[in-house]
Amino acid sequence: MTGRLGLGIAGVVLGLALALVGLQSQGAALRPGPTQAVSDDPQQSINVNTSPVVAVDPRRPEVLVVAGRVDAPRLQCAISVSTTGGEAWRRLDLPAAPEATNCFWASVAFDGDGHLLVLYTPTGGPFNLPTGLWLQRFTPDLAVDGPPIRVSGPLTFQPRLAVDGRRVLVAWIRAGEARADKFLGFPPPPNPIVLARSDDGGRTFSPPVTVSDPARLAVQPTLLAWNGNRVVVGALDLGDDRDTYQSSHEGQPGPAPAGPWRLVAWVSSDGGSTFGPAKAVAEGVVPSQRVLIDLAPAPAFAVDPGRGRLYAAWESGHDVVLSRTDDGGDSWSPARRLGPSTGAQFLPGVGIAPDGRVDVAFYDRSGDANDVLAELVLASSADGGESFVTGTVSDRPFDSKVGSFTGEDVMLGSHVAVVSQADRATVVWPDTTRGNRTNNIVDLVSAMVEIAPAKGARAPLVVAGGALALAGAALTALSWPGRAAGRAPRPAPRPATWPRPARRD
């Protein structure tokens, strides 16, 4: 009896524990991999590598291409390719455009057939201004596919590239001729954002159309295209801040602009042929420091085409915030701060996974009391930005002020890059671990982050635990001592009687 009772109690306890485990949900988990060098030959490089953009081959998700700016000691661009999902990188050589000695402001994208497109601006002259805007095609095997294609002439600033199938879109700031006589900054407006499109894979382009309002001080455009005819151009609007727009300070140290700045977006429903008026994404953007306009922090925009949803992330007053729209940009949700504390985050990048998961990478200095050492952090949301799980991606903190001209400001470029895939995100960012404020070395590095989705209650465990607990309870009830003591005693068995033999008379 004692053995059966113990077995029953054990069944109850084990069953309840199993059911409890099954009822508990599990949150998403981030598992960052090791940091990998992206920029070419980092042991020898003394370059300031910044502003990465990344593209993934739609047919081969393990093939990634990164383009980055080299801001010093000589303006240049760097193109790297990985065929292992970001585990290892190698240099991809870019043919020079006619009469060009370098490239700058490179952007990359894959078309629907797996052709890589690289957009870039050679620079030259006394002020290193853009001498043209060129597009280079590569085959799906990443071999050069013909000579570079001229998209536009000189004074084409901050170009961005987007591809939707075979349709190729290019946006840039078309500066006025007065920019040719300026070392830094734009001349007074108009210096509009314009867009040109190609319907033959980037071999020929239509004349550019004007996107932005003539008087608006719009910089750092981001270009999105999806679903055939949807095009969005987002940008940072400096409001009335002409000192920053024209870089009147000429790069000298000083206080942050008074602001405020804002975020705006222009929407086209005819494939980029026409655009409506600017739509406000966010007002009251607080600039965190004085910037050179060509190196200003860019807002990050991303699209979830399956849900028709747009996201925007930006820095404001040393915070990284996120907003979204479900109606094509007519209205945006209140900005949500992503950092663990206020006043320590900057320069976000955004990626959208096929299932709608949104991943935001940004720098975070909240772990340093002196507000200098930064880490690269990833925040991931599976519910449309309502809640996030956050984890550190970089191997160790690094000096966020390495790479600047003054040693007092943060100049790590205009953006970081995120590619979000089904079960992981690959993040590429400028990292100063090898540098100091004397050599100003900034490398591009990457890390792959595995993202385990959240799990709800597990019904099989709940059912199995409940059945085991019920069986244990039944066995316990049958074996309980009190139950045996309370039963009436059974009558003693009567002795057996045999038929008597018949009497004989």
pLDDT for position 482: 58
Average pLDDT over residues 150-157: 96
Per-residue burial over 363-379, b = 16 or more CB atoms within 10 Å of its CB, e = otherwise: bbbbeeeeeebbbbbbb
Q: Which residues pair with 32 in a beta bridge?
A: 449
Count of CB atoms situated within 10 Å of the CB of 29: 14
Is the pLDDT at 455 greater than 60? The verdict is: no
Average pLDDT over residues 191-203: 96
Average pLDDT over residues 376-388: 96
What is the rounded distance in angstroms from the CA atom of residue 11 to the CA atom of residue 417? 53
Half-sphere exposure of 411 (CA within 13 A, CB side): 25
Is the pLDDT at 13 greater than 90? The verdict is: no
What is the rounded distance in angstroms from the CA atom of residue 259 to the CA atom of residue 261? 5
Q: Which of 68-77, 106-115, 138-147, 448-457 has the lowest mean pLDDT?
A: 448-457
pLDDT for position 500: 45
Q: Which of 276-280, 388-392, 483-487 has the lowest mean pLDDT?
A: 483-487
Token couple for 271: 């494939």
Is the pLDDT at 224 greater than 80? The verdict is: yes
Token couple for 264: 């705006």
Q: Which of 27-31, 252-256, 271-275 has the lowest mean pLDDT?
A: 27-31
Is the pLDDT at 499 greater than 50? The verdict is: no
Is the pLDDT at 205 greater than 90? The verdict is: yes
Quick one: residue 227, left, alpha or beta (phi over 0 = left, psi -120 to 50 = alpha)? left
**Tokens 């500066």 sit at which residue?**
175
Per-residue burial over 199-231, b = 16 or more CB atoms within 10 Å of its CB, e = otherwise: eebbeebeebeebbbeebbbbbbbbbbbeeebb
Is the pLDDT at 483 greater than 70? The verdict is: no
- The percentage of residues in the chain with a pLDDT greater than 90, rounded to a whole number, is 69
Indicate the residue type of 102: N
Which pLDDT band holds residue 295 (cuts at 50, 70, 90)?
A: confident
Token couple for 3: 């053995």
Q: For 155-193, what is each residue's pLDDT tens digit?
A: 999 999 999 988 999 999 999 988 877 778 999 999 999
Sequence-distant contacts of 405-408: CB under 8 A, at least 24 apart: 405/251, 406/253, 407/437, 408/253
- Give the chain's mean pLDDT: 88
Average pLDDT over residues 282-306: 92
Average pLDDT over residues 375-403: 95
Query: pTM (2 decimals)?
Result: 0.85
pLDDT for position 23: 57
Please give the helix or strand (H or E) that residue 380 lies within, else none. Answer: strand 373-381
Before 287, cis peptide (omega within 30)? no
Q: What φ, ψ does residue 91 adopt, rounded to 5°? A: -75, 145
What is the rounded distance in angstroms from the CA atom of residue 47 to the CA atom of residue 49? 6
Alpha-carbon distances, residue 345 vs 42, 276, 316, 377, 378 (angstroms): 26, 33, 9, 9, 12
Cα pseudo-dihedral 303, 382, 376, 372, rounded to 10: 100
Average pLDDT over residues 45-60: 92
Is the pLDDT at 5 greater than 80? The verdict is: no
Is the pLDDT at 24 greater than 70? The verdict is: no
Token couple for 296: 């200003």
Q: For 305-317, what is each residue's pLDDT tens digit?
A: 999 999 999 999 8
